[in-house]
Amino acid sequence: MASTSLHLGVALDGAGWHPAAWREPNSRPTELFAPSYWTDLVATAERGLLDFVSIEDTLTAPTERHLRADDAVDRVRARIDAHLIAARVAPVTSGIGLIPTITTTHTEPFHVSKALATLDYTSRGRAGWQVRISGTADEAAHFGRREVHSPADEEIANVLAGGDLPAGVLELFDEAQDVIEVVRRLWDSWEDGAEIRDVATRRFIDRDKLHYIDFEGRFFDVRGPSITPRPPQGQPVVAALAHQRVPYELAARGGDLVFVTPSVDGPQTVLDDVAGALARTGREGEPLRVYADLVVFLDTSQEPGASRLDRLNTLDGREFHSDAAVFTGSAETLADLLTDWRGLGFDGFRLRPGVAVDDLATISDTLVPILQRRGLFRTAYPDLPLRGLLGLPTDVPNRYATV
């Protein structure tokens, strides 16, 4: 029997990844910040038995990647908090993983640890975290606690041409590495079984099973322990989006998943880049899972995907560009592409719906049945936490546990 190991998730970003997506008839622009919109989207993804939804977030109004903020009013220029969206949909879902984006640069690691541990409890072991840095002065100005210098135009051009990241951005990645380390240590600062809850002896916790983490680093010192018991998964899933050497190394040192953006013509190059990062960081033990990102505009019964994209570009007044490869076509052709790329060595795929409502429904109702008929995708959720659903170890040792 064919393997059912193809892993498939989706990345949700407002009305969709195309800037004009909110203007589509099914996009519900008046409900983009309503709880029902997000519960409906995640319910659609869960109907397709997808591994997870990741929820995009930044600390500034959405804009196209690498473009300066502007005053355009024909695009969605607002966000609601990704972690709180995940918290809202957790109780009304049962099988799908929830991976909100939480920025490290202006957020204390203690708060991140506590928030994600809580999400793991409310979702019954389905929480993850997409790590993101905040590298612009506009975002830093919202907080006023530190200076962050936005990369100059020539520095951005150098990065896009394959050059190194600016020194200030490199420092933010160093800080993000420390944040991941502290968050993971705080998750382990309570041993399993630390909660006794014995009314007769008046002992709620076993204090010997709580541990100081005593982290001392360049950016902060954190004593611990957490005030939240160890999450149900032990260690919720940690992911990062990466495009080049330094982000690859961040994922290799601290992540479980890395989301990458291969081109349609040369996906093998990205796998080689990740392998190089793993070698440079000396990662041992559990391998880093590599998920390929694709923006998708899928054929519908009314309109081919390519025509949909052209029409959206006309509405927006410019051609759509993305850091990830853009796929237009049928669900059948996309299934062929995913099958071929899985053979190259990708562990899974994260699809970015060009128009959230329309393309997500096609993913769940058309693409998934095609993969199921090919014996490449599950027909029901197993009774497993998110780590188990993704093929990660579910019995995660606690670094502080005493023998």
Higher pLDDT, 234 or 155: 234
Query: Which region among 53-67, 185-199, 308-322, 385-399 has the lowest average model confidence (pLDDT)?
Result: 53-67
Instruction: Output the pTM of the full model.
Output: 0.94
Binding residues are: 57, 101
Provide mean pLDDT across the span 144-169: 70
Q: Tell me the average pLDDT of the chain.
A: 92
Cα dist from 285 to 176, 379, 391, whole Å: 22, 30, 14
pLDDT surpassing 70 at residue 2? no
Sign of CA dihedral 351, 331, 364, 36: positive
pLDDT surpassing 80 at residue 1? no
- The reported pLDDT for the residue numbered 198 is 85
Band (pLDDT 50/70/90 cuts) for residue 70 is low
Provide mean pLDDT across the span 232-258: 97
pLDDT in tens, 168-191: 889 999 999 999 999 999 999 999
Identify the architecture of domain 7-138+228-389 in CATH.
Alpha-Beta Barrel (3.20)
- The reported pLDDT for the residue numbered 168 is 84
- The reported pLDDT for the residue numbered 146 is 81
Contacts of 113 by beta carbon, 8 Å cutoff, 6+ apart: 182, 183, 186, 187, 226, 228
- The reported pLDDT for the residue numbered 60 is 81
pLDDT in tens, 187-214: 999 999 888 888 988 889 888 999 999 9
Provide mean pLDDT across the span 382-389: 98
Band (pLDDT 50/70/90 cuts) for residue 98 is very high
- The reported pLDDT for the residue numbered 158 is 59
- The reported pLDDT for the residue numbered 73 is 77
Please report where in the chains the tokens 């300066």 appear, as a residue. Answer: 68
What is the Cα–Cα distance from 222 to 199, expressed in whole angstroms? 32
pLDDT surpassing 60 at residue 287? yes
The whole-angstrom distance between residue 76's C-alpha and the CA centroid of its chain comes to 21
pLDDT surpassing 70 at residue 312? yes
Provide mean pLDDT across the span 116-139: 94
User: Is 239 in a helix, a strand, or coil?
Assistant: strand
Nearest Cα to Cα of residue 354 among 5, 23, 6, 7: 23
What is the Cα–Cα distance from 210 to 308, expressed in whole angstroms? 55
What is the Cα–Cα distance from 116 to 113, expressed in whole angstroms? 5
Higher pLDDT, 363 or 149: 363
- The reported pLDDT for the residue numbered 383 is 97
pLDDT surpassing 60 at residue 157? no
The whole-angstrom distance between residue 292's C-alpha and the CA centroid of its chain comes to 12
Band (pLDDT 50/70/90 cuts) for residue 117 is very high
Higher pLDDT, 264 or 270: 270
pLDDT surpassing 90 at residue 304? yes
Binding residues for FMN are: 57, 101
Backbone phi, psi, residue 168, to 5°:
-65, -35
| Cis-peptide into 225, omega within 30 deg | yes
pLDDT in tens, 330-361: 999 999 999 999 999 999 999 999 999 999 99
